[in-house]
């Protein structure tokens, strides 16, 4: 049995292994996506929408640029999408917006401020919009640019 044929041993992975990302290792650009984050919110043009509330579905995409986690395999070296979801929930449930445009912009700006990312895309969809014609959903997308490497 050659070394490459040997079975993988979890003990070979050590969270304390240090990687020097500054060496001549090319980091891979990474996009992180969160799809279908469903939150009950109080946004809308009418007072009834804001009072009764409704479900919004969020989709998010981060351009993290060159990402150390591709080399280090450490969660702290990439965008923590669990924390991303918490921030979106806080932003969407903390105050009421009349338009999805304003909500998406506020969410995008907060995400750019809190996470190391070059760009963020935020989409909010209303699966059951209060309009007279039959539609599956309505949505708004906002794309914002932040820091650059």
pLDDT tens digits, residue range 15-29? Answer: 555 545 455 456 788
Q: How many domains does the chain have?
A: 1
Over range 129-134, report the average pLDDT: 90
Q: Is 126 within the bounds of a domain?
A: yes
* Domain span including residue 97: 26-145
**Which residues have a Cβ under 8 Å from the Cβ of 4 and sit 6 or more positions away?**
none
Handedness of CA 89, 91, 97, 103 (dihedral sign): negative
Q: Is 88 within the bounds of a domain?
A: yes
Q: Is 5 within the bounds of a domain?
A: no
Q: Is 66 within the bounds of a domain?
A: yes
At residue 82 the predicted structure's pLDDT band, cuts being 50, 70 and 90, is very high
Q: Is 7 within the bounds of a domain?
A: no
CATH of the domain at 89: 3.30.1130.10
At residue 66 the predicted structure's pLDDT band, cuts being 50, 70 and 90, is confident
pLDDT higher at 134 or 5? 134
Q: Is 1 within the bounds of a domain?
A: no
Q: Is 138 within the bounds of a domain?
A: yes
Query: CA-to-CA distance for 26 and 105, rounded, in angstroms?
Result: 33
At residue 143 the predicted structure's pLDDT band, cuts being 50, 70 and 90, is very high
Over range 111-115, report the average pLDDT: 92
């Amino acid at each position: 049995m050659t070394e490459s044929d040997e079975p993988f041993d979890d003990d070979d992975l050590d969270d304390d292994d240090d990687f020097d990302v500054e060496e001549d290792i090319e980091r891979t650009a990474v996009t992180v996506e969160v799809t279908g984050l469903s939150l009950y919110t109080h946004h809308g043009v009418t007072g009834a929408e804001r009072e009764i509330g409704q479900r919004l579905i969020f989709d998010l995409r981060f351009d993290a640029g060159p990402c150390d986690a591709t080399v280090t395999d450490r969660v702290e070296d990439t965008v923590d999408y669990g924390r991303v979801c918490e921030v979106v929930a806080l932003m969407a449930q903390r105050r009421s917006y009349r338009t999805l445009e304003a909500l998406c912009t506020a969410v995008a700006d907060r995400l750019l401020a809190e996470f190391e990312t070059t760009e963020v895309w935020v989409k909010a969809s209303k699966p059951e919009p209060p309009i007279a014609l039959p539609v599956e959903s309505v949505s708004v997308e906002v794309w914002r640019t932040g820091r650059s490497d």
